[in-house]
Structure 1
Amino acid sequence: MSGTPTERERPQRSGWRFVRDLAIIVVVALLASFLVKAYLVRAFSIPSGSMERTLLVGDRILVNELVPGVVPLRRGDVVVFRDPGGWLRADQGDDLVKRVVGLPGDTVSCCDDRGRLSVNGHAVDEPYVVRAPGSDRVAAEDFSVRVPAGRIWVMGDNRYDSADSRVHGTVPSDDVVGRAFVVTWPVDHWSVLGRYAHEWDRVPDAR
């Protein structure tokens, strides 16, 4: 009958449709991958020992850039942020990585009679912190600070070798690039970066 494809035409058309669909899938996948890398996830390398033992020098991490623009910051998050000014030398780049200890309005103090950090009067057990030999304190110095609006208080996990908010002050929330969520390299360091929610979620909100 006129207009009816022959047996030879059918497989040819099916073959072209398959190639066309495959090409579309590949293009969409590449575009999605580019958009994810460009706008949602970025990779960073750890330049110093200030976050040991959580992060070691040379570790590669992936950072979720939806934080804090879409997803809010939370206490305990490991974040990458741009140098607010004066934290780094010119040859050290522009980005730093620390742990969020205080949110806007929080009162952060150290240390209680067991050497622990307190936030809004609640002492936090921090198993990730490197302590000095023979000391139970998570930081060498006593301090108490209220975090201003629009800013965060950050500290390294290796607090005896970390120039953080105790030295440079609070960080503007707008300077946060994103939240680190996984160590990708080297392979033997691969791990998911948690925020120890079972500890930090017990901290009461600021009054």
Structure 2
Amino acid sequence: MDAGQHAETHKPSLFRSILTILVIVVVAVGASRLIMEFVVRPYEVPSGSMETTIMTGDKVFSERVSYYFRDIEPGDIVTFEDNEIPGRILLKRCIAVAGQTVDLIDGRVYVDGVALDEPYTHGLPSDPLSKTIVEVNYPYTVPQGELWVMGDNRTNSNDSRYFGSVKESSVTGRVCLVYWPPSHFGTL
């Protein structure tokens, strides 16, 4: 370029500006959908079945990444698809995995004959439920590919005692964080 020549400045056309904005919006929406599908998803807790660990109305994040690298473990709080109501997601604590035997004796949970230490239940009894949608006989051995899940609020939770074990394939993630309200903020 000669010293006397000047580069022309081009003003972007209105069409080009709109196209750029549309591309940015499409990329942002696509990225957020990918993140929600494969990484993390927010949920609002509608019931008290996990109180006081997770309170009614709390908003939580359920992450999926850890289950790409490890199996679901007892103690994990998992989100999973409800068998009764399509599209509804439940969250409960995994108590036992495939091949383990669950028993409820005198208000306590036993897995493979060992009483669980469950401080998160605050001493609430873990008794069989009188009203169920499937017949559950104790001791109960969790079938292959399934999990036994229970709410921490044992006297107010329809869980595996009510609907039986859940398919591992129905698990959508592991609850890792309460993010709202700020007073309940914390990792799980």
TM-score by length of 2: 0.74
Specify the alignment match of 2:139 in structure 1. Answer: 144
Q: Work out the number of aligned pairs and report it.
A: 162
Equivalence map 1:63-142=2 (5 Å): 63-84=62-83, 86=84, 88=85, 94-111=88-105, 115-132=107-124, 138-141=125-128
Unaligned runs of 5+ in 2: 4-23, 130-137
Deviation at 1:79, TM superposition (A): 0.4
Structure 1 stretch displaced more, 159-168 or 59-68: 59-68
Q: Which amino acid aligns with 2:114?
A: H
Secondary structure of residue in 2 paired with 1:128: helix
| 2:186 matches 1:191 | yes
Structure 2 partner of 1:39: 38
> Aligned-pair distance for 1:159?
1.0
CA distance in 2, matches of 1:172, 1:56: 25
Q: How much is the aligned-residue C-alpha RMSD, in angstroms?
A: 2.9
Structure 1: which 5+ runs fail to align?
Answer: 6-26, 133-137, 194-207
Percent identity of paired positions between Structure 1 and Structure 2:
39
Residue of structure 2 equivalent to 1:196: none
Give 1:68 deviation, angstroms: 3.4
Contact 2:108 2:127 in 1 (8 A): no
Aligned-partner SS, 2:56 = coil
Q: Tell me how far apart the structure 2 counterparts of residues 67 and 168 of structure 1 sit (CA, whole Å).
A: 26
Q: Distance in 2 between matches of 1:35 and 1:149?
A: 30
Determine the C-alpha separation between the residues in 2 that align with 1:177 and 1:34.
Answer: 15
Deviation, 1:66, is 2.6
Contact in 2 for aligned 1:107/1:145 (Cα 8 Å): yes
Aligned partners of 1:99 and 1:155 also within 8 Å: yes
Contact 1:100 1:155 in 2 (8 A): yes
Q: Deviations over 1:52-86 (max 9, x none)?
A: 111111111101113534431000000000012x2
Deviation, structure 1 residue 32: 6.4
